[in-house]
Amino acid sequence: MHHHRLLLLALVMAVVGGITFAPLSTAAAQGVSSPAASPSTALQQGQNDDEDDAADPRNPFKNIPVTGTTPNGGTFKGKFTITQFSQNGTALLANGVMRGTERDAQGKLVKQHRDIPVSWPVDLQKTRAANGVATQQTDNTDSMARMPFQQVCSVLTLVLGPLHLDVLGLVVDLNQVNLLITAVPGAGNLLGNLLCGVLGLLNPLGALTDLANALNTLLDFFR
């Protein structure tokens, strides 16, 4: 009888010894669950990410920072991406899409705007002045040839003039934008050569259609 009891005890100890217990986490042991992210916090984070989305250093035509004011004294802060240049009569347009955050005069969120279509006129007079291009028309056909391309075609500045926009529920007066495109000039440098082509067409005698085409070629370079 004593022998059977010893065998039973040994069997029980063997079974117990083969069982392992995984330790509970402190939170689980105390019956506490991890707090879920607050919806308002997540929304606020999304708003901040949209406002602070950095411009793309590889594409100067993408995520261009823009600011403006609304009729009620509020503000608008967003990004504009140019997808195409076109001619409309005597105007050169930078067409694209804009997104951003509208706030009232107290800084309270009014609306998050997305996919706003924009046709933003390029201020040709200010663009010519910013690039050192003569603004007077001349019959001297050698004027363009004498332009100091090697000094200026490493940098192109496009000036988008102030714009009143009223589209898809967004009414805003956008501030002027100075868009800077840079390249290292030299033989075999495609970007530098493209900038030179655009700068040459900024002359008042240049056709807007040719200028728009040259800018679209430059735009395609960064895609």
**pLDDT, average across residues 136-143:** 47
Contact 176, 160 (CB under 8 A): yes
> By percentage, how much of the chain surpasses pLDDT 90?
54
Q: Domain containing 159: what range? A: 42-221
Q: Is 5 a member of any domain?
A: no
Paired with 95 in beta bridges are 84, 119
Q: Is 79 a member of any domain?
A: yes
Q: Is 179 a member of any domain?
A: yes
The reported pTM is 0.70
Q: Is 14 a member of any domain?
A: no
How far is Cα 2 from Cα 145, in angstroms, rounded to an integer?
117
Q: Among 43-47, 49-53, 116-120, which stretch is predicted with the lowest mean pLDDT?
A: 43-47
Q: Is 159 a member of any domain?
A: yes
Following DSSP, what letter does each residue of 62-81 receive, concatenated?
A: SSEEEEEE-TTS-EEEEEEE
Structural domain count, the chain: 1
**pLDDT, average across residues 3-9:** 45
Q: Is 20 a member of any domain?
A: no
Q: Is 25 a member of any domain?
A: no
Q: Is 141 a member of any domain?
A: yes
